Structure 1
Amino acid sequence: MLRLAFLFLVVSLIAGFFGFSGVSAATAGIAKILFFIAVAIFVALLITALVTGSMFF
């Protein structure tokens, strides 16, 4: 999921460089949403691992 967020960020930067501000804003919004979803999943799994006492490493 972080890979997709990074991909959308790169697309947003390239679109912004070439002047496509609408595409740039849309892809930046998607990248932000994907990043926060990935962080939320990470935190949920971290809390679950700490509560159950088993680490996934």
Structure 2
Amino acid sequence: MAASPVEDLPPLREPRDGDRIWVSYRASVDGQAVGNWLVYNAEAGTWYAVSEPGLGAR
């Protein structure tokens, strides 16, 4: 059984205005984890980054 490429998979649901995804990363293996919220804007149909401390600590 072959896996389908990600591009071929349908989304679980279409994004809605205000949907957020937390994206974190480390600059190095031992570095501090940092990140941003990606927030969906339905009117523009795009995601934008918001780096507000405290939003990720929920």
Task: Work out whether the TM-score is over 0.5.
Answer: no
Q: With the length of structure 2 as denominator, give the TM-score of the two structures.
A: 0.20
Taking structure 1 as the reference length, the TM-score comes to 0.20
Structure whose residues are more often helix by fraction: 1
Instruction: Say which structure is richer in strand.
Output: 2
Structure with the bigger RCO (C-alpha within 8 Å, sep 6+) is 1
